[in-house]
Structure 1
Amino acid sequence: MIAWVSPSDAAFGAVAELFDDYRAHYGQQRAYGATRQWLQDQAAMSGLRISAAFTAGRPCGLLTALVVPASLTLGTFWMIRDLYVPPEHRGRGHARALLTETVSQARATGARRVALQTEHDNAAALALYGSLGFAPVDGYVSLNLGL
């Protein structure tokens, strides 16, 4: 089951805990309280949308997305920021279900497109994204300025 989760939902704490696991997976220090507060703040201030896959009432995957202005088309697009399924839950279709639900919601709200980024050597993610119709954007370079 896939559900959109807000800070007022009973499942929010368990989803925040899974998000903290996601951060630890990428080498960050665990900080459940700070993680929960950050997710709560982002949902309130930036409109971060959080969805989770559930098995037996527990979250087993999550996705975060932002709705972003698409100024040239005077519309919006959805930017997927985080997608995580713990290793013990992989291979069961949770990531595909989360992505499919997100694309459906974006389409239902009239978004122009759904965008995401991943590492160039993440073969499993690239295969999944490609199978759902995501394609590289030619002519653009991703740049960052660390602050």
Structure 2
Amino acid sequence: MEIRRALPADLPALAPMFDRYRQFYGRASDPERASAFLAARMDRGESVVFLALEAGRAVGFVQLYPGFSSVGAARTFVLNDLYVEPDARRGGAGRGLVAAAIAHARAAGAAGLSLQTGVGNQAAQRLYERLGWRRQTDFLEYGLSLAEP
């Protein structure tokens, strides 16, 4: 398993997985939107994406968004997206991608990482907890939708 930072040249392999990731969370398939969104994030330096490759085939990705903690007066990262192709799950890609995200955040001097996952996504919850992530209960999360899906 090779884990490396994704490059714009990886978009043809990355965008279809990103589209499937969005479908997992209930969005309609939109390959063009998926590709354009990823390309914009990468071109503008607004996210960091790592790619998992197995025998040269892209099997998963993780996407990090940089942020800051005002209270901690420190850089942080949001592990916003983690996806592994169904036929590659339980083969180490998820663990490797999370490890790459952690290593990147440490190298950038971040104070921490945060993430959200679906309440029903038990597999992801088990992975994160096995890797040392702890469920936060100090704050309530709120959202305000400003756009239609």
TM-score (norm 2): 0.89
| Distance apart, 1:34 and its partner CA | 2.0
The corresponding residue for 2:6 is 5
Query: How has the CA–CA distance of structure 1 residues 62 and 68 changed in structure 2, closer, same or farther, with 3 Å as cutoff?
Result: same
The corresponding residue for 2:26 is 27
Query: How has the CA–CA distance of structure 1 residues 104 and 96 changed in structure 2, closer, same or farther, with 3 Å as cutoff?
Result: same
RMSD: 1.5
| Distance apart, 1:28 and its partner CA | 2.3
The corresponding residue for 2:69 is 70
Q: Establish whether residue 102 from structure 1 lines up as the match of residue 98 from structure 2.
A: no
The corresponding residue for 1:16 is 15
**Which residue identity lines up with residue 20 of structure 2 in the other structure?**
D
**Which residue identity lines up with residue 4 of structure 2 in the other structure?**
A
Unaligned runs of 5+ in 2: none
Deviates more, 1:102-111 or 1:39-48: 39-48
Query: How has the CA–CA distance of structure 1 residues 33 and 68 changed in structure 2, closer, same or farther, with 3 Å as cutoff?
Result: same
Question: Following superposition, which runs of at least 4 residues in structure 1 exceed 3 angstroms of deviation?
Answer: none
Q: Secondary structure at the match of 1:119?
A: coil
**Which residue identity lines up with residue 21 of structure 1 in the other structure?**
R
Matched-pair identity in %: 30
| Distance apart, 1:22 and its partner CA | 1.7
Q: Secondary structure at the match of 1:72?
A: coil
- Is the CA contact 1:46–1:66 (under 8 Å) kept in the aligned structure 2? no
| Distance apart, 1:46 and its partner CA | 6.0
Aligned-partner Cα distance in 2 for 1:118–1:60: 20
Query: How has the CA–CA distance of structure 1 residues 131 and 78 changed in structure 2, closer, same or farther, with 3 Å as cutoff?
Result: same
Q: Establish whether residue 120 from structure 1 lines up as the match of residue 119 from structure 2.
A: yes
Aligned-partner Cα distance in 2 for 1:107–1:54: 23
Aligned-partner Cα distance in 2 for 1:93–1:70: 31
Unaligned runs of 5+ in 1: none
Deviates more, 1:17-26 or 1:57-66: 17-26
TM-score (norm 1): 0.90
The corresponding residue for 1:81 is 80
| Distance apart, 1:140 and its partner CA | 0.6
| Distance apart, 1:49 and its partner CA | 1.0
| Distance apart, 1:138 and its partner CA | 2.4
Query: How has the CA–CA distance of structure 1 residues 25 and 120 changed in structure 2, closer, same or farther, with 3 Å as cutoff?
Result: closer
